[in-house]
Amino acid sequence: MARRKKIYEGKAKILYEGPEPGTIVQYFKDDATAFNAEKKDVIDGKGVLNNRLSEFFMTGLTQIGVPNHFIRRLNMREQLVRNCEIVPLEVIVRNYAAGTMSKRLGIAEGTQLPRPIVEYCYKDDSLGDPLVTEEHIAAFGWASQQDMDDILSLALRVNDFMSGVMLAVGIRLVDFKIEIGRIFDGDYQRLIVADEISPDGCRLWDIETGQKLDKDVFRRDLGSLTDAYSEVARRLGVLPKSNVTKPTLIN
Ligand code: TYD
């Protein structure tokens, strides 16, 4: 029996109508995809970890005053969030070269960038999320100049927060992607961080060993994705105690 109406099913999440107007329920699936869904698998427990991790990051952002869609976690796989109109851009922030930037510009993976670099991709799977410039964004009306100023400021604040949180647990935030939502309060509109923040959309490297603790483990067949995400959750103190098998000794 369907409890509620499904609004949308994406690669990693399902969205349902929320219990109150203006809310939706995000259900985190175990499905993993890469290379525009050419590589697919079901990774046991990934959805549970990403639900928890996204809650952790969004709650921290709220605490430092970065507006976002998160309201509360409902259960292992679901969270209640504000319904918003998603700006059709993948907003990427890079601190170190990796992935497509390394390929495009011939910069060795892991090279520290002179400053954080923000890139925009147009959200369209059928086109493979192409990189676009602010000229495209303005000309095609995907976001206004004011929106772009706000998006840049949100992206850099998220970067400072995430970099600091990760650094504190010995992880380098190489790059990440966020999505931005538009919400309306009467005639007034504002932009907030939406979607999810999880290792699915970040590059996270152990500072000491360089070990990858993000979706590259899946993209590049480097081992167990659940182990990698569990390690991130464990270091951040996000995993419930019963799941912590190896306590860390601090000298
Ligand atoms: P990028 O290096 O451009 O692409 P790829 O992941 O294919 O090598 O990605 C930069 C970061 O942004 C990386 O951590 C993955 C994330 N990202 C997404 O999660 N989804 C996306 O659609 C895009 C374009 C990037």
Render each residue's pLDDT in the chain as its tens digit; 251 residues: 457 899 999 999 999 999 999 999 999 999 999 998 899 999 999 999 999 999 999 999 999 999 999 999 999 999 999 999 999 999 999 999 999 999 999 999 999 999 999 999 999 999 999 999 999 999 999 999 999 999 999 999 999 999 999 999 999 999 999 999 999 988 899 999 999 999 999 999 999 999 999 999 999 999 999 999 999 999 999 986 655 455 555 54
d(CA 158, CA 155) in angstroms, rounded, equals 5
Residue 33's DSSP bridge partners are 40
d(CA 27, CA 29) in angstroms, rounded, equals 6
**55 within 8 A of 74, measured Cβ to Cβ:** no
Buried b (16+ CB within 10 A) or exposed e, 184-208: eeeeeeebbbbbbbbbbbbbbbbee
- Does 121 contact ligand 1 (Cβ within 6 A)? yes
From 121, 131, 176, 177, the mutation candidate for ligand 1 (largest count of ligand atoms within 8 A of CB) is 177
Instruction: Determine which helix (DSSP H) or strand (DSSP E) holds 79, and give its type and residue range.
Output: strand 78-82
Q: Which CATH superfamily is domain 6-84+225-235 in?
A: Phosphorylase Kinase; domain 1 (3.30.200.20)
d(CA 16, CA 24) in angstroms, rounded, equals 6
Q: Give residue for tokens 């430092």.
A: 64
Q: Which CATH superfamily is domain 85-206 in?
A: ATP-grasp fold, B domain (3.30.470.20)
Atom of ligand 1 nearest to the CA of 216: 6
- Does 90 contact ligand 1 (Cβ within 6 A)? yes
**Is pTM beyond 0.85 here?**
yes
| Angle (nearest 5°) at CA 231 between 161 and 49 | 75
Q: How many CB atoms lie within 10 A of CB 140?
A: 11
Sign of the C-alpha dihedral computed for residues 54, 57, 60 and 62 taken in this order: negative
Q: How far is the CA of 66 from the centre of ligand 1 (A)?
A: 22
- Does 89 contact ligand 1 (Cβ within 6 A)? no
From 100, 122, 123, the mutation candidate for ligand 1 (largest count of ligand atoms within 8 A of CB) is 100
Q: Which residues contact 42 (CB under 8 A, 6 or more apart)?
A: 30, 31, 32
Query: For the chain, what are the domain ranges?
Result: 6-84+225-235, 85-206
- Does 179 contact ligand 1 (Cβ within 6 A)? no
